[in-house]
Amino acid sequence: MYNCKDSINLLMDYLDGEMAPEEAQHLREHLRGCAPCVDFLRTYRATPGLCKKAMAQRMPQEVADKLTEYLRSKIKSAS
């Protein structure tokens, strides 16, 4: 029988669907009887999405203009 620590160690493989059927069965058994681990799983699964949102970046217009200028001059001098 898995405890919380075993289960949490296996969460990534579980979410990736890369777990042996027997291990997945043990994990599901633990989750059925452990509400804190179910909450943990939910928040673990939500973490990448939240981080992705927090780290969104756009290129400032000034940098974009410089990029166009750079590529034009480089490509022109190469041709």
Partner 1 sequence: MSDELVPQPEDQQLLARSQAGDMAAFEALVGAHRDRVFGLALRMTRSEADAAEITQDTFMSAYQHLNDFRGDAAFGSWVHRIAANHALMRLRHRKVVQAAEEELKGPEFTERGSLAEYPQQDWSRDAEEKALDAELGQAIQQATDRLPEGYREVFLLKDVEGLSYEQIAELTGDSVPAIKSRLHRARLALREAIDAFYNRDHRVE
Q: What is the largest CA-CA distance in the chain?
A: 68
Looking at beta carbons only, is 25 or 73 nearer to partner 1?
73
Does position 43 bind partner 1 by CB under 8 A? Answer: yes
Residue closer to partner 1 (CB basis): 21 or 52: 52
Candidates 17, 21, 56, 61; binder of partner 1 (CB under 8 A) is 56
| C-alpha to C-alpha distances, 51 to 26, 37, 55, 70, nearest whole angstrom | 30, 21, 6, 32
Residues 9-28 that bind partner 1 (CB under 8 A): 9, 11-13
One-letter amino acid at 5 equals K
